Amino acid sequence: MSASTVTRLVIVGGGTAGWMAAAFLSSLFPARQLTLTVVESAEIGTVGVGEATIPPIQVFNKAVGIDEAEFLRATEGTYKLGIEFVDWLRPGHRYMHPFGQPGQAINGASFHAWWLRLKAAGYPHPLSDFWMSEVLARKNRFDFPSSDPRTPKSTLSYAYHFDAGLYGQFLRRIAESRSVRRIEATVGSVALDGADGTVSHLELTDGRRVEGDFFIDCTGFRGLLIGHALGREYEDWSHYLPANRAVAVPSERVAPPVPYTTATARAAGWQWRINLRHRTGNGYVYVSDLISDDEAAAMLLANLDAPAVGDPRFLRFTTGRRRQSRHKNVLAVGLSSGFLEPLESTSIHFIQHALIKFAATFPLAKDDPVSTGIYNRIMGEELEQVRDFLIFHYHANQRVGEPLWDRVRAMPIPDSLVEKMDLFRARGFAIFPNQTLFQEPNWLAVMLGQGIEPQAYDPLADTAPLEEIRSGFDAMRRTVHQVADSCRPHEAFLGAAPAATRSRA
């Protein structure tokens, strides 16, 4: 007998969040312990964007039992080694936030502390020259991380670009093969138990009803259960992250696809470009009081590197989070729980994180306030950390004279972020309290990229003679480039048949 009285779980919504939930939970719980039902509406579509991910997705896919090559073929996927930020600091400037790390710690000091010391002595080579993921990405090559610490490949890390709609379908096949029941119907209303305020069942518009012990709300921005039925408030963060619209359009494939996402700053927001196998995903995230929808679409179409495929699609959102994304017998996952703009590709990650934390705090009964409390705390802290990271990208800009960029440079920022910037500026320190998803290498890449110059370095990096360090760095730089040159081109690695190519406009 299970320790939990929750044996019937209903997932409402069949977007990326709904099918990730079904695939993950069905891989953890046998059907005799937990029955899983997905209700998805044919009338209400999915958000239909979301193509870039971050490395922890590998953990999720492994947990679900996914074969990587099969998954990449099924989703038109490519590899991703980082994000290139173009014009964010100022027009004409570019930097990369690569995954992995630049070298290993030496004598207890971070690799970048030694580099800061060399730089202070006039060393000309940027840190990016030692960052294997970035060197590989810029050469449009790819390889897997190595477990041998003697090769720079041991510092690699990677994620994927893919078609999120195809990923949902792929996960659906897995979930259905594990006895997940699918009901195609629209939920008309959500019935509450008058005694304890939990959700008792769903009323479908075709007259059927679906009962359950616990419900996962994956209804997207609607938040049908968590918001409409249970009244959990939405905390608006648009004073920190003012973008509230996006317009997206795919374009024809340009060959060869690069293994990184590009995020280019624009007057009223920024534009993404994501190379998949069969096409390129593009979108412009913008602030609606600075540019009209028509102007935003025109700006996007004018900045494609190949002809558009189809018409631009508009999306509206409010950056923020549900104050409690778990309440009574409902867990909100995906867009129903909140949304941070896709600058660091974190939404799909938050779906996975929510599911992993939910499994770790699985309710013992329909209404389990102890597990619910700890779950909400864990998720809240993680979201705030990532929010700070995104705010930083905007805030630390030198695009003087442009209304959006002047506004975000001058805005008050959370104290937690002020502290991080002070620590980094004072001594290149990027290990912060409560650091979870984004760690030292992530902050380091973006802090340096956004022009924060450390005024000192860790004194532990004074523990070896300068000349010794210089020759060690020179040798390492040569090795990183040689190893990168020996890796296969990204496209060859994918095994993708080269499609008809177009020259860049």
Ligand X SMILES: Cc1cc2nc3c(=O)[nH]c(=O)nc-3n(C[C@H](O)[C@H](O)[C@H](O)COP(=O)(O)OP(=O)(O)OC[C@H]3O[C@@H](n4cnc5c(N)ncnc54)[C@H](O)[C@@H]3O)c2cc1C
Annotated binding site for FAD: which residue ranges? Answer: 14-17, 187, 335, 348
> Left (φ > 0), alpha (ψ -120 to 50) or beta: where does 419 sit?
alpha
User: What does DSSP assign to residue 317?
Assistant: -
**33: three-class secondary structure by DSSP:** coil
**85: three-class secondary structure by DSSP:** strand
Give the residue with the Cβ less far from ligand X, 334 or 363: 334
Residues near ligand X (CB under 6 A): 12-18, 39-41, 44, 46-47, 49-53, 164, 186-187, 218-220, 222, 224, 246, 283, 315, 317, 334-335, 342, 345, 347-348
Give the residue with the Cβ less far from ligand X, 224 or 391: 224
Residue 346 CB, shortest distance to ligand X, in Å, is 6
Binding residues for 7-chloro-L-tryptophan: 80
Residue 236 CB, shortest distance to ligand X, in Å, is 16
Whether 446 contacts 393, CB under 8 Å: yes
Segments in 268-402 forming alpha helices (H): 293-302, 347-360, 369-395
Give the residue with the Cβ less far from ligand X, 80 or 112: 80
Give the residue with the Cβ less far from ligand X, 136 or 246: 246
Residue 249 CB, shortest distance to ligand X, in Å, is 12
Cα torsion 17, 20, 23, 28: sign? negative
Give the residue with the Cβ less far from ligand X, 188 or 459: 188
Q: What are phi and psi for residue 417, nearest 5 degrees?
A: -80, -40
Q: How far apart are CA 490 and CA 78, in angstroms?
A: 8
Instruction: For residue 12, give the amino acid letter.
Output: V
Residue 25 CB, shortest distance to ligand X, in Å, is 15
List the catalytic residues: 80
User: What does DSSP assign to residue 500?
Assistant: P
Binding residues for L-tryptophan: 344
Binding residues: 14-17, 80, 187, 335, 344, 348
From the list 50, 53, 20, 52, the residue with the least C-alpha distance to 38 is 20
User: What are the C-alpha distances in Å from 268 to residues 127, 249, 320?
Assistant: 30, 18, 19
Segments in 41-101 forming alpha helices (H): 57-64, 68-74
Concatenated DSSP letters of 219-288: -GGG-IIIIIIT-PPEEE-TTTS---EEEEEEEE--SSPPSSEEEEEETTEEEEEEE-SSEEEEEEEE-T
**83: three-class secondary structure by DSSP:** strand
Q: How far apart are CA 365 and CA 136, in angstroms?
A: 50
SS3 for 400-467 is CCCHHHHHHHHCCCCHHHHHHHHHHHHHCCCCCCCCCCCCHHHHHHHHHHCCCCCCCCCHHHHCCCHH
Give the residue with the Cβ less far from ligand X, 53 or 371: 53
Give the residue with the Cβ less far from ligand X, 155 or 319: 319
Whether 173 contacts 294, CB under 8 Å: no
Residue 44 CB, shortest distance to ligand X, in Å, is 4
Q: How far apart are CA 33 and CA 35, in angstroms?
A: 7
Give the residue with the Cβ less far from ligand X, 334 or 428: 334
- Tokens 């990730």 locate to 20
Residue 464 CB, shortest distance to ligand X, in Å, is 42
Residue 332 CB, shortest distance to ligand X, in Å, is 9
Residue 276 CB, shortest distance to ligand X, in Å, is 12
Radius of gyration of the chain (CA): 24
Residue 145 CB, shortest distance to ligand X, in Å, is 21
Give the residue with the Cβ less far from ligand X, 12 or 446: 12
Instruction: For residue 99, give the amino acid letter.
Output: F
Whether 209 contacts 203, CB under 8 Å: yes
Q: How far apart are CA 167 and CA 351, in angstroms?
A: 13
Whether 412 contacts 425, CB under 8 Å: no
Q: How far apart are CA 150 and CA 93, in angstroms?
A: 33
Q: Is the peptide bond before 256 cis (omega within 30 degrees of 0)?
A: yes
